[in-house]
A and B are shown apart, each in its own frame.
Chain A
Amino acid sequence: MYEILEKEVLAPTIKKLKVKAPLIAKKTEPGNFIILRVDEKGERIPLTVADYERETGIISIIFQEVGYSTKLLGKMDKGDYIQDIVGPLGHHIEMEGYNKVVLLGGGSGTALLYPKVRGFYEQGAEVISITGARTKNLIILEDELNEYSDRVYIATDDGSYGHHGFVTEILKDLLEDEDDIDLVVAIGPVPMMKAVADMTEEYGIETIVSLNTIMVDGTGMCGACRVTVGGERKFTCVDGPAFDAHQVDFEELMNRLNFYQNEEDLVHYKEVEEDN
């Protein structure tokens, strides 16, 4: 059992929990994820470790409430216990050797982006962060991004804050104006990552995306998370979760992410609504 030490509501459906998990805190590097099970009957769901403190043994997880399990997790409070957490899983991102990095986060993807922003910044790279959301109150971690970035750009779909439009439009301008960017990292909804990949490919800039696929065990056992990268089958859990964006088959990924949509819609959402 893993105790929740702190809870913070970052946006109406985006929450942050600080959890005591010393073994995981000791080993996590930016890009690693954990798998958790909220309770005895819960699913195993993968979540990126947003932050970790090695000395105190605390990890932070930030998640958007999108399905049954994340909603249930969102209802938990300080002092509650999460049934199971295992990790750190997946490969961390290699950060050395880059001078100027642009990192884009869409929606709750910004939570996944943040540890990489911090990592690159602490490595000494020039860091440009771009975060976007539908509207102003869904913009998260602005202060944290400011602390660990040389520049931060914000975009909202409705223009209520920052640039009126998409994060990719800001990226486009940067790519046009600055020719010394040597890496782009994009984390967010699949269409956004695909759009970034298509754009940076034209400019020939190395680009990394971090994929959030369906997983069960997270240790290479089930293959539910398989994706096609460069024509080869890869398991997101053990080969990823970060991959070369220009090699990922996004169409297939999108299709696979939708496989359990009916089950989510029919049962999970209904149950949560009934509880509310």
Chain B
Amino acid sequence: MAFQKTKTPMREQEPEERIKNFDEVPFGYSDQEAVVEAERCLQCEHQPCVEGCPVHVPIPQFIQAILDGDVVEANQIIKSKNNLPAVCGRVCPQEEQCEKVCVMGIKNEPVAIGRLERYVADYNMEAGTDKSSPAELEKMAIPELEGKKVAVIGAGPAGLTAAADLAKYGFDVTIFEALHDTGGVLRYGIPEFRLPKDIVDREVEAIKDLGVEIRLNVVVGKTMTVDELFEQGYEAMFIGVGAGLPRFLNIPGENLNGVYSANEFLTRVNLMKAFKYPEYKTPVVVGDKVAVVGAGNVAMDSARTAKRLGAEDVYIVYRRASEQMPARSEEIHHAEEEGIEFKLLNNPVAIHGKDGRVNKMECFKMKLGEKDDSGRRRPLPIDDSNWMLDVDTVIIAIGQNPNPLLTSNTKDIETKSWGGIKVNEDQETSRKGVYAGGDVVTGAATVIKAMGAGKTAAENIKNDLLNKSKK
């Protein structure tokens, strides 16, 4: 039988429909579609996909379990390495990781590993079999570690992953979260139509079931300090507080009304559910003409959110060219389908207003010059090319820096010049027993990289405390 050369397509909401709602865009595979796609896996012996995955999910094995008709087992295989499969199946950049090195992908399209992961996770959530099995947990448990306290700061992807693994080892784990809800960027950043919040809830529930306690509304650095946590008997700590400090353009007019950081805009809509205003009481003002500055995933999320909130014209304004956009191609494609207009090679230099509200954004047209430090061709302004874009809302989505709230209030944790926490290859900071990972270390990166760091830290905390208890 000839194999299928392309990925089994995933059905999704039509663009003209979905821009009127916040429901998830793709529907996920049916059982039959999943099997058809699973059959495409070559089950190669050297398994490059596993190496391509930051948390080393045994990919061919879980795909084989789908083919064997045991989707519950498939989930256990994924969960042995990945504590948030339903999240990763949706938001991981598989095209940069596992699918990039898939042998099938050399001549054809790679196996749709992400879609299969999502299928397995959703199937098990639906069936109520999404928790780690006792057998799986027994494998990881270490009796000597039982009852030892470890604190995790931040309930985002890095913290949740670290907490889950630490709990599986046997530690008594408490997560301290500054916001009133869990998930970090999964909750406040990624919109409902890309990652439904009941999926996040479900994943968090599974982690709580491992015995992890989550304390909301605690800002470590303010409500409590790292020193106090040590005094309370926590023997080690993992910091995963993310990159929450929004960057601005530093151009005139940025404090006019109608100018948002992407963080503010998305937090209002996602965490505070402004898309259900006035049922939920947090408002968000979106005009008719919205410019989103930047071209990463956060920019695409902001643009697509603005569209769904009723904006007529939504623009992505980006100073570089199309091939340099940092967003996933899938997200760019979705944005294009939804009628987002791309104003590439345009650099905003000023925001103009009337009566305190934005009404125009002034841009310079750009051209590409030599390669810069990032390996991308540097955008250069074209003389006298400035022009005005009519807008009533501007969303700045040019990245975030690590939030300094914790580090500025904690002794002995060294940071880099841009605020990232310094760690060694074990994810340990300059302070003994304090580990860190995720965006607070790397600057804004991906969910899965943060999870990988959380995993590494958990393992090293385990080794560290195990050695200590043996002394």
Q: Which of A88, A222, A259 contacts B267 (CB 8 A)?
A: A222
Give the B interface residue count (CB, 8 A).
41
Q: Which parts of A200-228 form the interface with B (CB within 8 Å)?
A: 216-217, 219-224, 226-228
User: B-facing mask of A133-177, CB < 8 A → 1, else 0?
Assistant: 000000000000000000000000000000000000000000000
**27 A-B pairs in the complex with CB atoms less than 8 angstroms apart:** A23-B218, A41-B281, A84-B217, A85-B217, A86-B218, A86-B223, A87-B222, A87-B223, A88-B222, A216-B267, A217-B178, A219-B244, A219-B403, A220-B244, A220-B403, A221-B245, A221-B263, A222-B264, A223-B260, A223-B263, A233-B254, A258-B257, A259-B257, A259-B285, A263-B283, A264-B283, A268-B281
Evaluate contact between B216 and A223: CB separation under 8 angstroms: no
| Any A CB within 8 A of the CB of B179 | yes
CA distance A87 to B280 in the complex (A): 23
Q: Which parts of A26-46 form the interface with B (CB within 8 Å)?
A: 27, 37, 41-44
Give the A interface residue count (CB, 8 A).
42
A interface residue numbers (CB < 8 A to B): 23-24, 27, 37, 41-44, 68-69, 83-89, 216-217, 219-224, 226-228, 233, 238, 252, 255-256, 258-260, 262-264, 267-268, 271
Evaluate contact between A216 and B272: CB separation under 8 angstroms: yes
Contacts of A219 in B (CB 8 A): 178, 219, 244, 403, 405
Q: Which parts of B269-283 form the interface with A (CB within 8 Å)?
A: 272-273, 277-283
Q: Which of A84, A220, A256 contacts B255 (CB 8 A)?
A: A256
- The answer to whether A267 and B179 touch (CB under 8 A), given A44-B272, A220-B404, is no
Q: Is the interface of A mostly helix, strand, loop or mixed?
A: mixed
Contacts of B371 in A (CB 8 A): none
Enumerate the 4 nearest inter-chain pairs by beta-carbon distance, A residue then B residue, closest first: A222-B264, A255-B356, A263-B283, A86-B217
| Any A CB within 8 A of the CB of B248 | yes
The residue in chain B whose Cβ has the minimal distance to the Cβ of A221 is B244
CA distance A179 to B41 in the complex (A): 85
Evaluate contact between A23 and B223: CB separation under 8 angstroms: yes
Evaluate contact between B219 and A223: CB separation under 8 angstroms: no
User: A-facing mask of B353-386, CB < 8 A → 1, else 0?
Assistant: 0001000000000000000000000000000000
Contacts of B219 in A (CB 8 A): 86-87, 89, 219
The residue in chain B whose Cβ has the minimal distance to the Cβ of A264 is B283
Q: Which of A37, A68, A87 contacts B180 (CB 8 A)?
A: A37
CA distance A70 to B224 in the complex (A): 27
Evaluate contact between B285 and A260: CB separation under 8 angstroms: yes
Contacts of A267 in B (CB 8 A): 277-278, 283
Contacts of A252 in B (CB 8 A): 255
Contacts of A37 in B (CB 8 A): 180
- The answer to whether A41 and B245 touch (CB under 8 A), given A221-B403, A252-B255, A260-B285, is no
B interface residue numbers (CB < 8 A to A): 178-180, 188, 216-219, 222-224, 244-246, 248, 250, 254-258, 260-261, 263-264, 267-268, 272-273, 277-283, 285, 356, 403-405
The residue in chain B whose Cβ has the minimal distance to the Cβ of A42 is B281
How many whole Å from A150's CB to the nearest CB in chain B? 33
Evaluate contact between B255 and A23: CB separation under 8 angstroms: no
The residue in chain A whose Cβ has the minimal distance to the Cβ of B282 is A43
How many whole Å from B414's CB to the nearest CB in chain A? 20
CA distance A216 to B280 in the complex (A): 14
How many whole Å from A8's CB to the nearest CB in chain B? 25
The residue in chain A whose Cβ has the minimal distance to the Cβ of B403 is A220
CA distance A27 to B223 in the complex (A): 7
Evaluate contact between A256 and B281: CB separation under 8 angstroms: no
CA distance A30 to B218 in the complex (A): 19
How many whole Å from B207's CB to the nearest CB in chain A? 21
CA distance A97 to B28 in the complex (A): 65
How many whole Å from A198's CB to the nearest CB in chain B? 21
- The answer to whether A222 and B261 touch (CB under 8 A), given A84-B180, A86-B178, A216-B267, is yes
How many whole Å from B180's CB to the nearest CB in chain A? 4
The residue in chain B whose Cβ has the minimal distance to the Cβ of A228 is B255
CA distance A267 to B283 in the complex (A): 10
The residue in chain A whose Cβ has the minimal distance to the Cβ of B280 is A41
Contacts of A264 in B (CB 8 A): 283
Contacts of B244 in A (CB 8 A): 217, 219-221
Q: Which of B218, B261, B272 contacts A43 (CB 8 A)?
A: B272
Evaluate contact between A256 and B257: CB separation under 8 angstroms: yes
CA distance A264 to B282 in the complex (A): 10
Q: Which of A43, A226, A258 contacts B356 (CB 8 A)?
A: A258
